[in-house]
Structure 1
């Protein structure tokens, strides 16, 4: 079982095998995002009802598991060196940080009609990024020209993300917090990448697990329609 860790500055520095100067994390102000980008707790109900606007993004659990698997292997602080089949066992049994997956998705789905919640599927974003930019802008009461939509879509393109030092985490590789030989923090950004890790048997097992959790809900992931 992978046990959750408290990702404080002291924790990160103690887990690093290299000597890091005092300015390392000062120069990279968004380092905490590395540990919370994949799954954040849903904001407290009182916060949502009062002032917050929440953009909730749901993704097919098989793609989520593969993405998290490579993320855990990449970051030294997690210390995961196992294979994907073992990781799926943890994922399915809710034995990972930020679990359980289905409780999180169901909570977001139930609140999707609240005026300050925008519920999106990752698969729809991937299919129509400009349309998603327009939808989010409208949700945030922002007016964008078509030129601005095009500029934003280009900025958010996965290839540009991969080259963007503000989000690609290359700095953490330079200071020794990411394992060498693993896939990069910004990977493929696509849909259906789970096929590279699931064996036919594991896929059948995952499909049964997904069906069991979806059968009493009206949640339907675009990729499974």
Structure 2
């Protein structure tokens, strides 16, 4: 007899300023808001499924001067504390960050209005990666299917509605991307596009090196480009989440590093969904100068 898949337990979502977040993060909210950033912190900021692990590995390779072995020192999610992450009794992202020596590289999926104020007050460096909304939606859908710590996404049709209405964890893609884009010139923000890194990794990685105040030679740069290629990272147990127990991430449903491509949305969107999405996009992104590439 075929085994019935284990039903995931009900995931509780709470809103903070209209943004849906996991219950554990909301329970820890005052600690998150009171987090003390330091002027030499670098914060990696992304909307979920926009190349977070990718940019983390790029940044770590730069920080370690292209030393592959040093980048194998720990799993990627242990190298850069995730500010809003909380799962008692494990140490929270805030606790992990507080225990970390400077200079620290941290990560968040929080939108600008939810970020701990000390990041702005200390004029920290922010590295933001944006990915086109259609591919982002597809990737997030598959991620929610396999990630037992997030709500069940339902059917693709249902998820489409959840996503466009900003009812996914970490809120609306539109608000998130627009929020970071609008302030990019007021703070030390390097704003990158997933699609650009895909198209010309060398050029984009050079921008990150410069932003981090590093000076690396061509050989090191080439090593970084090579080591952070999607196929390489998909095979790397330090980045592919293969060590995470199946009870948390079931990679038999969908791999954590699935396709890493531009334009996969075409395999999911129906013609009418695409038309409707384009209308919503136009309305929600009105007045912003940001331009996305939807296929390579």
TM-score by length of 1: 0.80
1:222 equivalenced with 2:293 (yes/no): yes
CA 1:132–1:92 in 2, change beyond 3 Å: closer, same or farther?
same
1:202 equivalenced with 2:249 (yes/no): no
Counterpart CA distance in 2 for 1:152 and 1:92 is 35
Runs of 4+ in 1 over 3 A off after TM superposition: 35-46
1:92-131 correspondence runs (5 A): 92-114=164-186, 116-131=188-203
The residue that corresponds to 1:185 in the other structure is 256
Q: RMSD across aligned C-alpha pairs, in angstroms?
A: 2.7
The residue that corresponds to 1:23 in the other structure is none
- In structure 2, list runs of 5 or more residues that go unmatched: 1-10, 14-20, 26-73, 86-106
Residues 111, 179 of structure 2: 8 Å contact kept: no
1:40 equivalenced with 2:110 (yes/no): yes
CA 1:198–1:185 in 2, change beyond 3 Å: closer, same or farther?
same
Higher percent of residues as strand: 2
Residues 161, 167 of structure 1: 8 Å contact kept: yes
Counterpart CA distance in 1 for 2:24 and 2:75 is 15
1:148 equivalenced with 2:220 (yes/no): yes
Query: How far does the alpha carbon of each residue in 1:17-61 deviate from its partner, in whole angstroms, 9 at most, with x for none?
Result: xxxxxxxxxx9683676x978933344455135241111111111
TM-score by length of 2: 0.62
Residues 73, 81 of structure 1: 8 Å contact kept: yes
Residues 127, 190 of structure 2: 8 Å contact kept: yes
Higher percent of residues as helix: 1
Residues 56, 117 of structure 1: 8 Å contact kept: yes
2:247 to 176, 184, 202: 176
The residue that corresponds to 1:137 in the other structure is 209
Greater RCO (CA < 8 Å, at least 6 residues apart): 1
CA 1:40–1:154 in 2, change beyond 3 Å: closer, same or farther?
farther
Q: How many residues of Structure 1 are paired with residues of Structure 2 in the alignment?
A: 204
1:80 equivalenced with 2:128 (yes/no): no
